[in-house]
Structure 1
């Protein structure tokens, strides 16, 4: 235990040093790189886990070695590719409100779909925030359409912050609040964080552009501390609502051996408990039937199996083959997993390398997306705020990218591409067809 306590300090020191060095280079935008986020979340998470602030934890050198492998793979991709932050600065310099009616038609279309999906789930009692049972498990009606409220909310926030006319500002921000409310009614922390990430991304880029500074003042630092405190309270608020009928104190339920606020306990168990579940799986479970990427590409495989009529067959096979699970789900009822769980199930011990490599490949695709002239800067920023969730949630999510995130990202990109396609057909090739047509110029 003493040696692991020392290892915990090393992880925390690594976390502090990499953040400090990046801050010296890029200021408040230091974390805006998918691989940097991966390095941060795994070094911090492993360090906190090794401290074993919960009596339920049993950290081992093996799980630390696994975390080191993941960390090194993220570091490799971060060191051998252009930083996301420089690409994002270029996008922000070209950011403006679309003036193409075709774009607003498609955006309104998915907004309507998201609203009707929200209404259908509200009427069916599937939204925990609008029901008498906040801790229930739900099966959404049109769940992918419901989650489209996330990119819609982000888009209207950005438009509201860029607009000059008061009416446009008020209208956009009212729509932002409405779709934020639709999202919050599920009481899921994840989608709320997706939206807030998009807002924070814009505000940080705006701060750097407006002030010409990359470092924060004392006043701004206190504001950021205040935001962190608000996040802690939000975790406690949403968590307490959902678990009020299950237990009275999250700290006692998860056997914390230190006296900390429940909000911090929620954050701690989310970022550290997946490693305990993964540690148990590595120590005790032998994968006899690997699922060869079925979990990694689950959103796509499930979607195509539904179209082909094999959804039941696929689900039955996957369920019968899966032996890796969150053992803490039974006592104390903690179901937080990790991509390590799916990685081990899909490819046995090789999954520990394959899954992080897939993250790296995704980061390269995101960089290519930020460079692609056919997409507008608005679409790039919204899509990036969604893509950034992959590494941000990697240590405590069972999939590299959840299905709803993929759908939201593809929907935003599709709106941009369809707008360009129909604009080119109606107006002719006034500009280079490789450029986005969300912004059109008046005919002279």
Structure 2
């Protein structure tokens, strides 16, 4: 034991150190103005292992010393010079450093009423001095051990809370990082599609514009040849032989058909370019009035190479108004849901009929509704509540991030809408999206 037979004064406030059970160090602080009491208690405790003893003779110094030495138990006299022991107990209990430190009151006063008052203000034990050595040591060790256990438990709870907070932070960081990657992928896709659309658009417009004149010129030439035939019904042998060689009647008929098919092909390319431009719109900064059907059609066009693997798409469009939205974000939602439906259907190689039904309608006048249903294997009921959780996926490893539907839910929520799923085993899954026709911001304006 390290005895201290005089007042202890230090300028710092060390934090109590938690030592493993069986080796925990006990620190005793005696506050008593009688030197003889200090000497007596010091003699009682000096042979005790893992115990450090400190002494303070003045009440005005007690709180400062207690803050410095960090006692595990305080022995305190009831009557002190220039101070009331009860007042000092209240000061200990009001200080954050000593508020939980056990206090054993030492007094020659054995009055039950005094004891009751002491316990009422926060004293943990009461001994009539001078106490028996065995009893004093037992009570010091008991209260110190209880205090150290509480400290260790509190530290464990704090560490557990910090670990949980750190785990949540890491989870949020992972989700945000993966979402940024997903958004960057979509942005890159949009930029690529916009560039392709721009490069294709100019030559297609040139070809389509020239087709109008080519059609007119061919009609004029055909009319000229018809007039020659009427004026000169009997061509010479060389002309007649050439007409038969090129199969004149077939060429004239087929030329018109080729012209019509070329025009149709050009128009189809123009529609594809428009769909690519619609899908890749970079409009994250502001809402726009948009046609949901255009977004669905452009999404289906992007996914057409997968739909051609044996999946039939049925479109049942209702009469929808234009809605306030971020079109590119909603295209991302449609892309994720339809892509998931395609994945589910392609995983059923023995299913003879693979089908995706897309229905749109108005809902409660102020909302539109989009329903996307497939006839795939469906989602087990137990997994449905987890579908929109970040990083949850039913796909095999390396086949999905588990963020698609979570991002979809966030995008729909940002539009003040809702997204729900209904699914039964072997009956497919149906996603229902409801969106307000007018955004809350536009309504306020």
TM-score above 0.5, yes or no:
no
Point out which structure has higher relative CO (alpha carbons under 8 A, 6+ apart): 1
Rg larger for: 2
Greater percentage in helix: 1
TM-score, normalised to structure 1, is 0.20
TM-score normalised by length of structure 2 = 0.20
Structure with the larger strand share:
2
